[in-house]
Structure 1
Amino acid sequence: MSTLVINHLTLRILGRPLLEDASLTIENGQKVGLVGRNGTGKSTLLAAISEDISIDGGEILLSNRIKMARVKQETPSGNLSLIETVLSADKERTHLINEAESTRDGYRLAEIHERLIAIQADSAPARAATILAGLGFNAENQQRPISDFSGGWRMRVALASTLFLNPDLLLLDEPTNHLDLEATLWLQSWINNFSGSAIIVSHDRNLLNECVDAIAHLHHQKLSMTIGGYDEFIKIHNEKILQQNRETEKIAAKRAHMQAFVDRFRAKATKARQAQARLKALEKLPVLEEIVEERAIHFEFPQPVQLPPPLITLNQVKIGYGDHVVLSNLTLRIDPDDRIALLGANGNGKSTFIKLIAGCLKPMEGSIHNHTKLSVGYFAQHQLEELIPGQTPFSHLEKVLPKATPTELRAQLARFGLNTEQTDTPVQSLSGGEKARLVLALITRHKPNILLLDEPTNHLDLDAKESLIHALSSFEGAVILISHDPRLIELIADRLWLVNNGTVESFDGDINDYRQWLTDNKRILDSSVKNTETGSSQKLARKERAEKRKILQPLKNKIKALELLIQKNSEAYLKIEQKMAEPEFYSNVSAEEITKLQIELAEYQKRKNQAEEDWLILQDKLENTEKEL
């Protein structure tokens, strides 16, 4: 039997259909990328497959005794170490080990040991450690409690726990969102070696090309399968669109010709029979809806005034925070035509280097010289949080460009796909991708000569990423880029700089060479988390941890409050949903009461969505703050 069979599936959320009569089959060992516009129901489908939500019609069939795993939406917490957290994901192994320690039945103990051998329990710690190392945790960090880490790092642990289970069916929803480039490359290798079946929702085009056998497209509430990677899917999809549009045009022309004959001769007795025959033929013509694809988001960076080289020179620069040195011995030059990607694990100083170039940090030693007319555009994740929730994109831009006309302001916002409606929508109602596009519009308002982009694609879908790539390709200024997306780096950067061992040096090679370098040097096992235990004095280390907690605690308190708000609204939503699902409900309440409950459902969902958006922003801020400490 196939690993997964979906037959005539119907899924609705608050009465809105996401899938109607949709079908899909995934064979044993097949890896499928699930794509579709944001909001079409990809994550909801994964939740239905994993039985986290109920379906409204059809069936989802899994082969017998299949082991399925999906990354949990809530981040793991508690005082268990990372390695213990991952090991505890295998419930059977944990149960058997606990039972072996308590049972006095010799026969049962023999059965337990036999089963432990069968599931390779003795090798589990080594497998868990390997996965954690691949995702950026060294041996020392693996022994630290998970409570020491921020939300993004905990999501890596959640991913590690899911991979550790080595299931028959693996469900992954945007698995690279919290990863750096090094961990992303490792994950691609892991998926390629994974023997089970997988459904992967991702905006990472490189992953969808390298790691899947087929693409499942969720479109117009249906599922269709295309064999091959994402590039092959796009090619076939576009060919289908052209073919169907041509066929639609032919039928429309034929219909118009026959209708014209009917309209002309219907009243004439000699032509009445012919007109009637054509009317019948018109009724039998197939109705083909012309495929009109959603308008792609268009990006366009304003072109800078050309300046002579160099734009920036660094001479023996040392940079850090307070007395803590992050990078030193920086002697570098940036020219107008440079396209540079920064490589190196999280925590090595990539963001610190970009802040130096942006002028947000001053050198501790050495010198940095900018061209006198240099204009810099700096994009960072924390800027999304600094947007004012109650103000619109138009008012944000108007504030920083007070002399610009309304037409000029709207034209600048339109450069990044913000239409009239989005331009006049309060920021608090915008999606993460729309906020990112607003920040891009803000940072490029002065036509910068150099763009500094720190993970610019985190909130962008596949189409928006492609638009960003095209826009950067057409941009005539310099670019310095930090990204976990190998494809973005490959298409935009022509120089790679490695941030490692406390300095920045040119890396001779491309992304494939870097992948090999990571393997050869075992750098992929290095820690991406800053180790606060490196001091020789334990007393000093405890003091540093206390100071770090003092700085981070307000952020953690806000995050905890949002988690409680999310839980509260989720529980209230579920309570009403369960009430409305009871068979006798609709016969015992009025239409007004039903409408009232539906409004309450929508309000709880809205509050939950907003709290989740705020939670993600604060998590980004927490991680960025941790990098700086």
Structure 2
Amino acid sequence: MTATLVAKNLAAGHGDRSLFSGLDLVVAPGDVIGLVGANGAGKSTLLRLLAGLSTPEEGELRLSPPTATVGHLPQEPERRPGETVREFLARRTGVAEAQTTMDEATQALVDGLPGADDAYATSLERWLDLGGADLDERAEEVTDSLGLRVGLDQLMTSLSGGQAARAGLASLLLSRYDVFLLDEPTNDLDLDGLERLERFVTGLRAGTVVVSHDREFLTRTVTKVLELDLAQQQINLYGGGYDAYLEERDVSRRHAREDYEEYADKKSALQDRAQTQRSWMDKGVKNARRKASNDNDKIGRKFRSEASEKQAAKARQTQRMIERLEVVDEPRKEWELRMEIASAPRSGAVVATLREAEVRRGDFTFGPVSLQIDWADRVAVTGANGAGKSTLLGALLGRVPLDAGAAALGSGVLVGEVDQARKAFHGSESLLEAFRAAVPDTEPAEVRTLLAKFGLKSEHVTRPAVTLSPGERTRAGLALLQGRGVNLLVLDEPTNHLDLPAIEQLESALDAYEGTLLLVTHDRRMLDAVHVTRRFEVASGKVTER
């Protein structure tokens, strides 16, 4: 069925901090609404409100018809122990919950409880609408088409990262909700997966709200953009696609700045005029008092008195003009990630080598691969999930044991990895303590200052690192790169969980970085924006330089 989701005057906060208020939104059939905003603006919170999983501080939600299904598909970086692929797909598609409800209704029917007939009919209709009748058959077809050649009864925890990403995509492609709420669906998808996801989203008749930091995906899919502007504490809905939003937003911000500057200039000029008039008035009064004692000319005294009154009247008139000005608030300056990647002294001419390197993992064989990375090479590594990209990085850095061949790092190589840095912030110790453990020679005050540059303020540094969001952990990892010098920078999907302004700042920082770079990403805009000197394509364990 087609359904419409209406949000009216929603408000939400986090602790003492307001995220948004007065939010109105209509998600109609066929809409694809891109939800954008800085990390911490409340995007995931809004999706949970729209899904009915959280209660708004103010406002209301209305779903028409009320029996329509709303699918909330959030990020799931951690897999559930004991859950099979089949169970994962049933849960994510809503079929598992519908099956449980139908089983309960069936038992009520057997027990002869009042209203059991209607409850069973409703639950059966919901189960059928969600695709429960043929889910297993469709799951076999979809997982096979995605190259996920594992049994549906295999545990999710046993899958590789690439396989888990395909399973996540399969759960989306198998879903038959009436309204879709997608939170970062592009994370960890390869180029083929991204194209499949784009075709699925653009082909939906259901209304969709999607949070994504993949600029190319947004450009290709969304019909509207809802911006949660944390800096200005505003909510803006833009018609048209993502590129139209960027243009309209820039024009709007420029006009807001111009309007404020015009107001500020006019107010300043009037205040200067009023100050001058008051000065002339005060000077006139002093002169009048000085002359009053030895001036018997009544006409002169009257003239000077009238002149002072005129100046006072002018000053009052100018003050009224200031008060009648329509106040224009100064646009708040947006927080910007001013990132620099600290460069260590250069390494030797040869940074890393592989010589007939092979890695065997069950049925998968990586290699044999022979290659050399030289100083200041800037290498982009691309390939499908499961092709061997992470194995290539691990072999080059000496983290993955070789079954044949040899690997070596050159002299003076200091490695910095975002993926490895993220893992440093998963413990129960505070962010400050975890950061200092990685850079023990840095004083706490310096650490706090550095983290603040990455949007991690006082309320973040004292929290247990494990409670940070994925985006906050990524920021901490980037801060770590700035806190210690590196001359071999290894970035494995660095844009995952970063907001759009931070991604652009990272691209600028990479342009200024002078060391050796190994970049693995499926972000098509980043591949275009970052200057590279070499490109490696990894397919089925083989590495080809293009």
- For 2:398, the equivalent position in structure 1 comes to 359
After TM superposition, list the pairs within 5 Å mapping 1:114-513 onto structure 2.
124-133=135-144, 137-138=148-149, 140-146=150-156, 148=158, 160-161=170-171, 163-177=173-187, 179-180=189-190, 182-219=192-229, 220-265=232-277, 268-303=308-343, 311-319=351-359, 326-361=365-400, 363-368=402-407, 370-381=409-420, 384-385=423-424, 389-390=429-430, 391-392=432-433, 395-396=436-437, 398-399=439-440, 410=446, 414=450, 417-418=453-454, 425=461, 428=464, 432-433=470-471, 435-440=473-478, 442=480, 447-492=485-530, 493=532, 495-506=534-545, 508=546
Structure 1 residues 87 and 440: CA distance shift in structure 2, 3 A: closer
- For 1:45, the equivalent position in structure 2 comes to 46
Instruction: Kindly state the Cα deviation for residue 85 of structure 1 after the two structures are TM-superposed.
Output: 4.8
- For 2:85, the equivalent position in structure 1 comes to 82
Question: Structure 1 counterpart of 2:203, which letter?
Answer: N
Structure 1 residues 319 and 272: CA distance shift in structure 2, 3 A: same
Q: Distance in 2 between matches of 1:320 and 1:227?
A: 51
- For 1:33, the equivalent position in structure 2 comes to 34
Q: Distance in 1 between matches of 2:420 and 2:386?
A: 15
Structure 1 residues 49 and 307: CA distance shift in structure 2, 3 A: closer
Structure 1 residues 161 and 337: CA distance shift in structure 2, 3 A: same
The question of whether the paired residues in 1 share the 8 Å contact of 2:340 and 2:482 is answered with no
Instruction: Kindly state the Cα deviation for residue 347 of structure 1 after the two structures are TM-superposed.
Output: 4.1
- After superposing the two structures, state which structure 1 stretch, 162-171 or 388-397, moved more: 388-397
Q: Distance in 2 between matches of 1:317 and 1:148?
A: 25
After TM superposition, list the pairs within 5 Å mapping 1:596-615 onto structure 2.
none
- For 2:286, the equivalent position in structure 1 comes to none
Q: Distance in 2 between matches of 1:124 and 1:482?
A: 34
Normalised to the residue count of structure 1, the TM-score between the two structures is 0.66
Give 1 or 2: higher helix fraction: 1
Question: Any stretches of 5+ residues in structure 2 without a counterpart?
Answer: 111-117, 282-307
**Offset from partner CA, 1:34-60 (integer Å, 9 cap, x none):** 112222222221122122222233333
Instruction: Kindly state the Cα deviation for residue 351 of structure 1 after the two structures are TM-superposed.
Output: 1.9
Instruction: Kindly state the Cα deviation for residue 317 of structure 1 after the two structures are TM-superposed.
Output: 1.8
Question: Structure 2 counterpart of 1:28, which letter?
Answer: P
Instruction: Kindly state the Cα deviation for residue 477 of structure 1 after the two structures are TM-superposed.
Output: 2.9
The question of whether the paired residues in 2 share the 8 Å contact of 1:153 and 1:178 is answered with no
**Offset from partner CA, 1:211-234 (integer Å, 9 cap, x none):** 211210112444211234444333
Structure 1 residues 394 and 80: CA distance shift in structure 2, 3 A: closer
- For 1:605, the equivalent position in structure 2 comes to none
Q: Distance in 1 between matches of 2:470 and 2:108?
A: 51
Instruction: Kindly state the Cα deviation for residue 270 of structure 1 after the two structures are TM-superposed.
Output: 1.4
Q: Distance in 2 between matches of 1:125 and 1:3?
A: 29
The question of whether the paired residues in 1 share the 8 Å contact of 2:270 and 2:318 is answered with yes
Instruction: Kindly state the Cα deviation for residue 354 of structure 1 after the two structures are TM-superposed.
Output: 0.9
The question of whether the paired residues in 2 share the 8 Å contact of 1:375 and 1:446 is answered with no
Secondary structure of 2:310's aligned partner: helix
Structure 1 residues 51 and 418: CA distance shift in structure 2, 3 A: closer
Instruction: Provide the identity percentage.
Output: 28
The question of whether the paired residues in 2 share the 8 Å contact of 1:3 and 1:28 is answered with yes
Q: Distance in 2 between matches of 1:245 and 1:42?
A: 26
Q: Distance in 1 between matches of 2:536 and 2:250?
A: 37
The question of whether the paired residues in 2 share the 8 Å contact of 1:326 and 1:502 is answered with yes
Question: Structure 2 counterpart of 1:137, which letter?
Answer: L
Secondary structure of 2:154's aligned partner: coil
- After superposing the two structures, state which structure 1 stretch, 17-26 or 431-440, moved more: 431-440
Instruction: Kindly state the Cα deviation for residue 204 of structure 1 after the two structures are TM-superposed.
Output: 2.4
Structure 1 residues 239 and 393: CA distance shift in structure 2, 3 A: farther
Secondary structure of 1:353's aligned partner: helix
Instruction: Kindly state the Cα deviation for residue 271 of structure 1 after the two structures are TM-superposed.
Output: 3.6
The question of whether the paired residues in 2 share the 8 Å contact of 1:152 and 1:178 is answered with yes
Q: Distance in 2 between matches of 1:487 and 1:397?
A: 31
Instruction: Kindly state the Cα deviation for residue 97 of structure 1 after the two structures are TM-superposed.
Output: 10
**Offset from partner CA, 1:276-334 (integer Å, 9 cap, x none):** 3333332221111111222200122235666786543432122357x998423112232
Normalised to the residue count of structure 2, the TM-score between the two structures is 0.74
Structure 1 residues 378 and 119: CA distance shift in structure 2, 3 A: closer
Instruction: Kindly state the Cα deviation for residue 33 of structure 1 after the two structures are TM-superposed.
Output: 1.0
Q: Distance in 2 between matches of 1:447 and 1:394?
A: 15
The question of whether the paired residues in 1 share the 8 Å contact of 2:75 and 2:184 is answered with no
Structure 1 residues 299 and 415: CA distance shift in structure 2, 3 A: farther
Secondary structure of 1:19's aligned partner: strand
Confirm whether residue 64 of structure 1 aligns to residue 65 of structure 2: yes
What do you get for the CA RMSD once the two structures are aligned? 4.6
Q: Distance in 1 between matches of 2:17 and 2:101?
A: 42
- After superposing the two structures, state which structure 1 stretch, 115-124 or 199-208, moved more: 115-124
- After superposing the two structures, state which structure 1 stretch, 484-493 or 245-254, moved more: 484-493
Q: Distance in 2 between matches of 1:487 and 1:158?
A: 23
Secondary structure of 1:141's aligned partner: coil
After TM superposition, list the pairs within 5 Å mapping 1:97-116 onto structure 2.
none
- For 1:547, the equivalent position in structure 2 comes to none
The question of whether the paired residues in 1 share the 8 Å contact of 2:31 and 2:207 is answered with yes
Question: Structure 2 counterpart of 1:286, which letter?
Answer: E
Secondary structure of 1:142's aligned partner: coil
Q: Distance in 2 between matches of 1:58 and 1:117?
A: 32
Secondary structure of 1:40's aligned partner: coil
Secondary structure of 2:338's aligned partner: coil
Question: Structure 1 counterpart of 2:543, which letter?
Answer: V
- For 1:582, the equivalent position in structure 2 comes to none
- After superposing the two structures, state which structure 1 stretch, 184-193 or 236-245, moved more: 184-193
Secondary structure of 1:302's aligned partner: coil
Q: Distance in 2 between matches of 1:424 and 1:41?
A: 16
The question of whether the paired residues in 1 share the 8 Å contact of 2:352 and 2:409 is answered with yes
Secondary structure of 1:380's aligned partner: helix
Q: Distance in 1 between matches of 2:501 and 2:18?
A: 23
Structure 1 residues 149 and 504: CA distance shift in structure 2, 3 A: closer
After TM superposition, list the pairs within 5 Å mapping 1:480-629 onto structure 2.
480-492=518-530, 493=532, 495-506=534-545, 508=546
Instruction: Kindly state the Cα deviation for residue 174 of structure 1 after the two structures are TM-superposed.
Output: 1.9
Secondary structure of 2:26's aligned partner: strand
Structure 1 residues 208 and 93: CA distance shift in structure 2, 3 A: same
**Offset from partner CA, 1:455-474 (integer Å, 9 cap, x none):** 33334322222111111122
Instruction: Kindly state the Cα deviation for residue 370 of structure 1 after the two structures are TM-superposed.
Output: 4.8
The question of whether the paired residues in 2 share the 8 Å contact of 1:205 and 1:487 is answered with yes
Secondary structure of 2:253's aligned partner: helix
Secondary structure of 1:232's aligned partner: helix
**Offset from partner CA, 1:242-268 (integer Å, 9 cap, x none):** 211111111112112223333443553
